[in-house]
Each structure stands twice: as C-alpha cells, then as structure tokens.
A and B are shown apart, each in its own frame.
Chain A
Amino acid sequence: MTLRSRSRRLAFAALTAVFTAGVAACSYNPNTIFGAHSDLGHATDRLTYRLLYFGIGVGVFVWGLLIYAIFRFRARPKSPVPKQIHGNTAIEITWTLIPAAILAILAVPTVRTIFQTQAPAPANSLQVEVIGHQWWWEFRYPQYNVVTANELYLPVGRPVNFTLKSADVIHSFWIPQLAGAKRDVVTNHTNYLWFTPESTFAWNGFCAEYCGDSHANMHFKVFTQPQAEFDAWIAHQKTGPAFPANPSDTTNAPAAPAAQPATATVALTSQQLTVAPSAQQLTAAAAAGPATGIYPASNIPDYVIPNTPPPAGLTFSDVKGDPARGLKLFRSGPCLACHTIQGVSPGVIGPNLTHVGSRYTIAGAMYPNDIKHLELWIKNAPLMKPGVIMPAFGKSPNLPGGMTDQQIADIAAYLSSLK
C-alpha cells in the first residue's frame, strides 16, 4: 500500500515538474514556430492554434474520463457488481459522429489554407533561388545577378518567392521565426515557398531534412531590412571584391573589379554615384557602414550568432596575416578551384566568397566569421565540420606539403578584407 501511494505521489510530482519545466522552457523560445513574422506565419498560426485548442480539449476530456473511471470504478469490497453490457449503439454512434464533426471543423480551414499558401507568388515578388548543398546554402538573386551563401538578405513588406533546388541530396529550407512553415529542397525537383516578411531583424535558418554527416551544421542566417537598406546591400553585392585583385602587380590584374563595367553601371543607378567607383572607394564605402546595406552587428541577438566551440586539439600559432600575400596565395593555390571571387577565381563547388568579409558567419553558419575561425577552418575544415568536402590545407604529419600557419593567416587576412 505504501509503495503504491508513494509511487502515485511521485508520479504526480513528476508530472507537475514536466509541466512547470515545459512552461519555463516556453518563456525563452527564440526559434518558436508560433508568431512567425510573415503572412505565411500568420496563416500557419491560425491553423496550428485551432488544432492545438481542439487537441487539448479532446485530451483533457479523455484523460478526465480515464482518471475519473480509475478512481470511481476501482474494485472495493462493496463495489456494485458490473453489469455485463456488450455495447450501446446510440452511444457508439454518438462518439463516432462527434469526432467526425470536430475533424470537419479542422478540415475546412486546412484546405482553405493549403490553397491560399500554395497559390502562385505575387508578380512583384523578389525572386530568390535557394540551392541546398551538403552542408551549406547558396542564395541567388536572379533579378539582380547577385550570388551569396549562408546569409540571406530580404526586404520587409515585399513578397519573396523562393525557388528551391538541390545540388546533391534532399534538404529542407526552414526559418521557423520568419515563415513558420518549411519546404523540402528536393533533388531534380523545383519547389517554391513564398511569404512577405513583416519585421526587420536577424533570424535563424536550419536545414530540417536529414542530409548526411553534418546535417546538424547546415544553418543559415536571415537578415530582414527596410527596402532602402536592402537596395544598398544589393548594390554593394553587385560590385566586385573590395580588395584589389593584385594592387602591386597591375599587369597581372586583368579582372580587377573596376574593370567590370556591367556591375559598376548597376551600382551607379542604385547608389546614385556620379563616377564609377574604384575598388578602394568601395572598400571605404563598406567601412562607412549603412551604404553597404550590411545588417548592423549590434542588432543581432546572441542566439543568431554561432557559438560552436572549435574542435579540441586544433591549434593555430599567433601570426599576423598579410592580405596582399594572401591574395597571391589564393590565386596560385587550390582555393580557386572551388570558390568564386568575382574577377579573381571561377570555382563553383564551394560558397561564393566575393564578399565573404562582410558576412557574420562561415561554414554553413556554423562558426562566427573572424580571423581565428577562418584560420582554423582553412587549416583543417574536416575537423571543424564532419564530412565536409573541403580538405585540410594546414601542414601536418599527414600532410607534410600543406600550408604553414603564416600562409593560412595571409589567406584568412585576405578573405576578411573582402567586405
């Protein structure tokens, strides 16, 4: 008897603990699917709340009956003899029809919302092409000829239509606090997802479909900005890299950014500049702040800043890199086979690095973008991110011909300068 009552008390205490902790956990939920800041989020919310309320109602009802029955009908010395009832048609029909009615109440708005949210995107939508890669995100803005990676910039108030494609396996594109809903990125298929962001802020994005070793590390960040800032960002992205391709050796720099008239022209119109900007001017513009449209670091909440600890045992000596030497190494080394830097290198296997210095994160938004993490990344990417295609480049017993820490620091310094 004591065992039974003690275990019952324990059960009650545990359930209370679960409930309290659940409520406590709810008080801090920066990635919640509820209250997502877009029209799609509101549509999803309305349906989910309706399902949740009916669900809780049914659950409380069934548990109420169950608990009542357990206490009321427990066998006692003077319990009445159970009537040998085999069923009751009227009752059984009732408890078939009532759930059916509840489901009808849920089905109608379900179908309405399906057709509403899967309608074609409005004609004035910003088009963004999302390409899932193992394990990073490529974002293309075909209307502006801009390509970037892992950090998505969107204007508020304008519908954005995502065209979702995969370069390898199936991924899933999910920004819980902005869209609520997700959409799979399916190989050899094109999927769509559209919504209108409502608030300016920084948001977490995740890959939601299991896609191999580093599925857990396939994040991205979304920055929503007023239209003007977004325009500035686009204009800045359209320019070439901020760092001159090879300032000390002009004969060897045929593809310097200023020599690209097409991009410069568009930059002119949107930035209202009167003369074609030189690379140095662009660098200065980037340093000046708002004109680049880069989302301000001070407005990024801590949960959007990656805080993955680098792997234990991966060290880097305390050397200072030189960006000019870094550029030379970049151009002569293996980097260009996989990475595009506009006017410098053509690779398309890895993320486009033209403005990598202006990003807040690296490695599929796994690490913060600072010199220290860049150096570690170049030195030994597979150790930093399981399964990654990018090989280790740092000199080690396994790789005697690898780069020295000084060489890596130079490349990191160069990449960091690409604002």
Chain B
Amino acid sequence: MATTAATLTRAGAATGYKGGVWSWLTTVDHKRIGQLYLYTSLAFFLIGGLEAEIIRTQLYGPNGTIVSAQTYNELFTMHGLTMIFLAIMPMTAALWNFLVPLQIGARDVAFPRLNAFSYWVFLLGGLFINTGWLLHAAPNGGWFGYAPLSTRAYSPGLHMDFYVVGLQIVGLSSLAASFNFIATIINMRAPGMHMMRMPVFTWATFVNQFLMALSFPIVTVAITFLLFDRFFGTTFYENAAGADPLLWQHLFWLFGHPEVYILILPSFGLVSEVIPTFSRKPLFGYPVMVYSLMLIATLGFGVWAHHMFAVGMGPIADSVFGITTMLIAIPTGVKIFNWLGTVWGGQLRFTTAMLFALGLVGLFTIGGISGVMHSSPPSDLAQTDSYFIVAHFHYVLFGGSMMGLFAGIYYYFPKITGRLMNEALGKVHFWGTFIGMNLTFFPMHFSGLDGMPRRIYRYEAYQGWTTANHLSTIGAYILGLATLVFIYNFLRSRSAGKVSGPNPWGAPTLEWSMPSPPPDYNFAKLPHVTSRYPMWEGKSAEQIAAEPVVKRWEPGTPGATEDPVPTAEQLGIPMPTPTIKPLIAALGLTVAFIGLMAGKSLPIMILGGLIFVGALYGWLLTPVEPEVEGH
C-alpha cells in the first residue's frame, strides 16, 4: 500500500497524500476509498474466478471427481455470493466512489466517514463469509438460500450461518453507501451542474442508490427472519410449523431482481461515457438514456416473481409478471439502439476500453434476448433451472456488467493512477475474454435446452451434455488466462505505464479537466458548469475529431496543465481529518456478529456492541474538518 502512494506521486501530478499503511486505514478521501474498493473487489474477483475454474474442471466430463458433492455445492454458492456481493457490486462502488465527486465537481462525498465505514464493513463482511472455507463450513445452500433448505432442520452446522450473518454485514455496507451517494449527488453538484447535465455514469449511480436503498431493506428483513429461525428458534420458514416457503422466495426476489439492475446499471453508465469519447460524438439521445435508466429501475421492482414461474402462482400472476418482464426489454432495447446511434457516423477509436464497451453492447444483447425467452412463463417452465438460465445470466453479468467494468477500468485507470495501461496487453485481455466468455457460456444454451439441470455436481454419460461441457470448460480456462493477463497489466501499469496526462482520451466530461491523478482536494476552484460536455464545449466538430488519443503524455500536449499542482494548504482548502474510527466501528459490528456465530456468546456480542457504539460516539463528537468550512 505504501508503494502505491509513492507511485501515485511519481506518476504525474502531486496528490498531497501521505504514504504508509496507516494513511490508508484512516483515509476518508473518496478517491482512496475508491481504490481500496477496487483492489479488494479485484481480489475477490480472482477468488470467485478460481471457484468457477474448479466448478468447470469438475464438470469437464461425466462423473467428475475433483471435488465432493458438498464441496461443489459450497463452490457454486460461494461463486455466486462472491461475484455478486464481493466482486461486481464493490467494483461498481470503486468507480462511483472515485468518479462521482469528480464528475459533478465536488470536493468529496457528503459523508466521508460514512463512506470509509461502508468500505470497512464490506471488507470485513467479505472476509467473514470466506472464513467459512477455513472452517470447512462455507455456505452451501445457493446464493438464493431458499428456505426450507436453508433452515437449521435441513442445513445444520455453520454453513448457512455464514450466509445469513455474512450477507447481513455486507448489506449494511450497501445501505450506508446508498444514502451517502444520494445525498452527494443531490446536494454537492458544482454550480451549473444541473441534473440533466450530469454524466450518464453519475446518473446510473444515482438511480442505483435508490435501487439499493429500497431493495436491501427487503433482503435484510428476509435474512433477519432466517437468522432468528436459525439462532433463536422462531418459525418464519420452519416446515414443521407449517411455514410457507414462498415467503422467502418473494422477499428474496423482491430484492434479488432489483439487485440484477444494481449489478448492470453502473456498467451501462460506464459504456455511456466510453462510447461517445471514442466515437468523437455526443451520446445519442441523452434524455432517453436517463429516462430509460429510471424506467428500468422502476419496472425492476415489478418483475420479481418471474424467478418463480415454476412455483405454481396461478395463471393470473404468471401473466402479469410475464408481461411486466417483457416491458423491461423496451427501455433496455432503447439503450442498445442509442449506443448504436452514438457509434453511427462517428470516428471510432478502438482502444481497449472501447472494445470492452462495444463488447457489452453485443453480448448484453444476447443475454437480453434469452431473457425475453424466459419472460414467457410456459416457455420458462422448460428453461428454468436448466443451464439455459446459467448461459443467460452470465451473458448479462459477464457480457454486461463485467465487460462494462473492464471498459471502465481501462478508461479510468489513467485518471486514478496517472498512467496508461498497456494497450497491447489490453487487447490480448479483450480478445481472450471475448473468446473465452463465448466459448464458456454459449454452449450452455445448448446444454440447457438439452435438459441439463443447474447446480449438479456431476452428470451421467450419454445424456448429450458432454460436448457442450467440454467446450465450456476450455472456454473457462481461456477466460482465466485472459484475466491473469489483465491482473498483470493492471498491477504493472501502476508503476510502469506511460504517463497519461490529464485527458489522454480526448474525453468530454468534467473529471478529465483535472490533473491525473487528481489532488486530494479535487478542484482547486469549484468549476462552473455550462454544458453536458465541458471539455468539448466551444470546440467545432473538426476540433473534437482531431482530439488525439494519447499514447504517452509529453508536457506541451494540448490541453495539459504544466503548472505544478498546488497543495490544499497553499490554496487554503480545509481537508477532512483522517480517522481510524470508521474502521473501529466496522470492527465492533463484525465482532458482535462473530459473537452470534460463536455459540451466541453474550460477552463477545456485548464487547462488539460497545466497540461499535464507542467508535460511533467518538466519530460523531469530532468535527470532520479541523475548522468548519461553509460551502
């Protein structure tokens, strides 16, 4: 971590950060918290990927014996939990933490300490869930944790305890973050940054926070019921007490479907930044892109039961949820066409970021089409719980969310570090990912339509599934190798990448006006925004088309500031004091939950509670900045 800080300073502009581990543990700066999210989520992405590789190895041929049934069930459960809650969500959080204040012209987020608290809770929650592996008791009931299988009667031991408690912890992190970013985006926009001038990524983030704020309480309730069933003998989901297991399913999917949009909307936002930049054209139909985000999010709360067509809800419910699900395809389709409209007539520059963004447009379309296929309940009854569904949601989550996030990482890496990622390796990564992902997931359409059920640790020979599974496994290995190329490129470019300068892509939005990496205070003077694309403002179409894509920044490149970046002190900008209290509060919370796991140990729970409350008090009673600054 210490070297990272030093690297940042060497890379280009001075940032004003102190180095050292302690500075990272106590940071309340949104850019550093964003980087913590980024590194952590990439680490969890590798863990989730390793789990996937073991799963694919087991399924290469019939009757795989690499892992036992129980280990396999733990692997697919943890793969889902890790990728959803510990990799993709925090990776989107990494980017919106880093970017939103820069995109709207703010000095930081509304509640910097709450932001740090969110990160630490997420990190500890992620480590907590994964502790299950060390105790040979990783969650094994699926990421969806269906009752009654997840109740104590059918899942004895610690496995599903790690699930309920771990998700509870991670959920708190998302809730805290959502309120923080709603407040930030509503209140902290620079003068002139009207809502309809905000970059689409900020819009996507904004919509996302509402999805999180409204859906996480539902799963919190669902999980609290399960937690009480498992630890305190209530009977919300207990078979023997006559519980209705559909209660869990309705609550879970009422959260779970908005969750799908929580995973994809930030990526939609990212490619809406990347595609205009590298087409040298503004986004086609900006207002419609914004409205469609809101429409997708709103409709996303009315479709949850399409996960449950097989449970027997009756023809009326099936019809209603089938039609609402089809409706969602309309705003989603509009987004695809508007991206194509942006590309149309442009001057396309195929940087790695652009390749990943166009990859999302193509691959998400495939996932969207298979999605429409199972929006029709009678047809879904044939498809659901088969590998066809696995193919579908990996096209949406890998072909959509991850392609968009990769686009975002290549695009914003220079802003975060001041250096460019290696483009040649980037292209190896893109093509390896594109080929590997299609080879892994496209054959799953066939194995699914050929009757292969999901979540099986083995299958028999002669079922017509072997060829498709061979291909999927080979594809998964290619995907794994491509990811290693990415990780190498990512880590190495932090110190060895070419210096990028402030705006290597000729990009139009506000964040590209500042030095790379940005100084700790962000904007020396809060900007006055007068258009959607400040960096293209007043330029002719010829000038925009002539904006170079920088291979290596040299002083004197047009648009670059050569003046040394002044420090916050020189500018008289009061900076928030670093503090360890958010981390201690997060630790206290985790200790309390560990007490619950450790045989409901009251002393440990009380200790954790005291640490949490104590840290919270200390945090609330010390002012954020040495002296209060009036905005």
Contact = CB atoms under 8 A, between A and B. Distances in A.
Contacts of B285: 86-88, 92
Interface in A173-188: 174, 176-177, 180-184, 186-188
A246 interface: no
A73 to B, nearest CB: 5
A47 B379 contact: yes
B330 A110 contact: no
A84 B460 CA distance: 58
A192 B291 CA distance: 41
Contacts of B462: 30, 302-303, 307
A186 B312 contact: yes
Given A32-B464, A66-B361, A87-B286, A168 B382 contact: no
B326 A14 contact: no
A286 interface: no
A80 B347 CA distance: 8
Contacts of A79: 347, 545
B460 A306 contact: yes
Interface string A22-42: 101110111111101000000
Contacts of B431: 7-8, 10-11
A73 B341 contact: no
A103 B327 contact: yes
A192 B461 CA distance: 31
B284 A87 contact: yes
A55 B370 contact: yes
A216 B447 contact: no
A44 B348 contact: no
Given A87-B288, A182-B382, A308-B63, A206 B450 contact: no
A289 interface: no
Interface stretch (B33-41, B87-95, B331-339, B555-563): B331-339
B337 A106 contact: no
Interface residues of B, number: 112
B556 to A, nearest CB: 24
Interface string A75-94: 10001111111111001100
B541 A3 contact: no
Contacts of B155: 212
A158 B351 CA distance: 63
B451 interface: yes
Interface stretch (B17-25, B240-248, B492-500, B564-572): B240-248
Given A51-B372, A87-B285, A182-B385, A172 B310 contact: yes
Nearest to A387: B69
A262 interface: no
Nearest to B440: A18
Given A85-B284, A192-B312, A180 B350 contact: no
Given A114-B318, A207-B453, A107 B326 contact: yes
Nearest to A96: B334
Contacts of B383: 33, 48
B490 to A, nearest CB: 19
A9 B463 CA distance: 33
B48 to A, nearest CB: 19
B55 to A, nearest CB: 13
B340 interface: yes
Contacts of B253: none
Given A18-B471, A177-B451, A204-B451, A69 B350 contact: no
Contact of B450 (A25, A63, A187): A25
Given A14-B439, A28-B464, A211-B149, A92 B288 contact: yes
Contacts of A114: 315, 318-319, 322, 377-378
Nearest to B452: A31
Contacts of B343: 66, 69-70, 73
A147 interface: no
B7 interface: no
Interface string A146-184: 000000000000000000000011101010110011111
B70 A213 contact: yes
Given A73-B344, A182-B310, A31 B451 contact: yes
Interface string B449-460: 111111111111
B425 to A, nearest CB: 10
Nearest to A18: B442
Contact of B373 (A4, A52, A80, A87): A52
Given A117-B378, A216-B459, A11 B435 contact: yes
A362 interface: no
B439 A95 contact: no
A22 B279 contact: no
Choose among A47, A73, A210 the residue with the greatest number of B CB atoms under 10 Å from its CB: A210
A265 B614 CA distance: 80
Contact of B379 (A51, A56, A58, A206): A51
A263 B323 CA distance: 51
A15 interface: yes
Contact of A82 (B63, B239, B279, B465): B279
A25 B243 contact: no
B458 A216 contact: yes
Contacts of B337: 92, 95
B312 A191 contact: yes
A74 B351 CA distance: 11
A48 B330 CA distance: 20
A18 B246 contact: no
A172 B454 CA distance: 12
B345 interface: yes
A129 interface: no
A261 interface: no
Contact of A81 (B370, B379, B542): B542
B245 A170 contact: yes
Given A31-B451, A55-B372, A210 B382 contact: no
Of the listed residues A51, A91, A189, A214, the one surrounded by the most CB atoms of chain B closer than 10 A to its CB is A51
Given A11-B435, A73-B343, A84 B69 contact: no
A18 B478 CA distance: 14
B341 A81 contact: no
B334 A92 contact: yes
A25 B467 contact: yes
A297 interface: no
Contact of A86 (B68, B284, B449, B541): B284
A208 B385 contact: yes
B443 A25 contact: yes
A82 B451 CA distance: 49
Contacts of B453: 174, 206-208, 216
Interface string A196-229: 0000000010111111111111000000000000
11 contacts: A3-B424, A32-B450, A36-B382, A75-B280, A82-B347, A86-B285, A114-B319, A170-B146, A191-B312, A303-B460, A307-B462
Interface of B: 63, 68-70, 73, 141-142, 146, 148-149, 154-155, 239, 242-246, 279-288, 310-312, 314-315, 318-319, 322-323, 326-327, 329-330, 333-334, 336-338, 340-341, 343-350, 358, 361-362, 365-366, 369-370, 372-373, 376-379, 381-386, 424, 427-428, 431, 434-435, 438-439, 442-443, 445-447, 449-465, 467-468, 471, 541-542, 544-545
Given A29-B450, A169-B154, 13 more contacts: A11-B435, A26-B450, A30-B462, A31-B465, A48-B382, A48-B383, A62-B365, A82-B345, A91-B341, A99-B329, A176-B451, A211-B149, A213-B73
The 9 closest A-B pairs by CB, nearest first: A31-B451, A216-B456, A181-B381, A176-B451, A386-B69, A87-B285, A191-B312, A208-B385, A55-B369
